[in-house]
């Protein structure tokens, strides 16, 4: 007598909701680990997986969140809460009309952090840039207090026109050419309020801002409020400047 034995795993249908603790997350990829069976959460964060083994492991993944694994264990309803992955979010660079990973970015960009700004005493943005970005030359036009400075990104590109870059401060475009050596259009911005400065040096900047960006773009992002305990920072500086 020949005895054949076979074991059959029971299969069930699993449903649930994917959230981040504050609300549902649409577009989350849910896959049965080790198989090609998968689905995507709906606009309200719900999902359904049919005919999967009772001993399966579900893997929840979404951009900006840490992967999350849950064992089925005969459960027909599994809700998942995803945790933000802040390290991955720091690797994303905003470029004009979209985003890209910094490793995939082809344009020439120099970045200056707020920590570098606080290391020296600067009264204007152009002073912050001095000696901190390769290929950027800063020259003060006059000794007048609050006077403007000439900024050159990779040298002079025009003989008759302006060679000043444009400044994009929190999305607002400011022309760096004030038309006067004694007037600085950037003097009204406190350097201590700057979170980061990114300098677009090559022709890819013109694809975003047009011909105005022919001399380069200096993008300034200011500090904003953050969740957590109240923190008070005080900075003080006293100085004077006078013409000889």
Question: Which has more confidence, 186 or 92?
Answer: 186
Residues 47/18, Cβ–Cβ less than 8 Å: yes
For residue 241, what pLDDT is reported? 66
For residue 103, what pLDDT is reported? 45
d(CA 107, CA 203): 8
Backbone angles phi, psi at 50, to 5 degrees: -105, 145
The lowest-confidence range among 95-109, 114-128, 155-169, 221-235 is 95-109
For residue 16, what pLDDT is reported? 92
Token readout for 208 is 């975003």
CATH of domain 11-86: 2.60.40.1120
Could you tell me the pTM of the whole model?
0.49
Encode pLDDT of 63-80 as tens digits. Answer: 888 899 999 998 999 999
Structural domain spans, the chain: 11-86, 91-222
Backbone angles phi, psi at 188, to 5 degrees: -85, 0
Q: Can you count the helices (H) and strands (E) in the chain?
A: 4, 16
Token readout for 37 is 């069976």
**Domain 91-222: CATH architecture, name and number where available:** Beta Complex (2.170)
């Amino acid at each position: 007598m020949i005895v054949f034995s076979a074991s059959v795993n029971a299969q069930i249908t699993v449903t649930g909701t994917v959230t981040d603790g504050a609300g549902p997350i649409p577009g989350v990829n849910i896959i049965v680990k080790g198989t090609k069976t998968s689905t995507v959460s709906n606009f309200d964060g719900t999902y359904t997986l049919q005919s999967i083994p009772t001993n399966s492991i579900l893997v929840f993944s979404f951009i900006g969140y840490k992967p999350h694994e849950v064992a089925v264990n005969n459960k027909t309803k599994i809700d998942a809460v995803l945790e933000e992955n802040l390290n991955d979010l720091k690797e994303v660079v905003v470029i004009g009309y979209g985003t890209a990973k910094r490793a995939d970015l082809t344009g020439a960009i120099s970045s200056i952090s707020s920590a570098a700004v606080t290391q020296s005493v600067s009264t204007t943005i152009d002073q912050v840039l001095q000696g901190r970005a390769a290929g950027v030359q800063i020259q003060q036009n006059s000794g007048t207090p609050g006077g403007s400075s000439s900024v050159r990104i990779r040298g002079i590109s025009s003989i008759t026109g302006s060679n000043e870059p444009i400044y994009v401060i929190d999305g607002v475009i400011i022309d760096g050419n004030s038309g006067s050596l004694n007037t600085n259009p950037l003097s009204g911005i406190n350097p201590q309020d700057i979170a980061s400065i990114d300098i677009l040096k090559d022709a890819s900047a013109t694809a975003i801002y047009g011909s105005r960006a022919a001399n380069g773009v200096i993008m300034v992002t200011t500090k904003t409020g953050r969740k957590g305990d109240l923190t008070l920072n005080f900075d003080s500086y006293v100085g004077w400047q006078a013409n000889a």
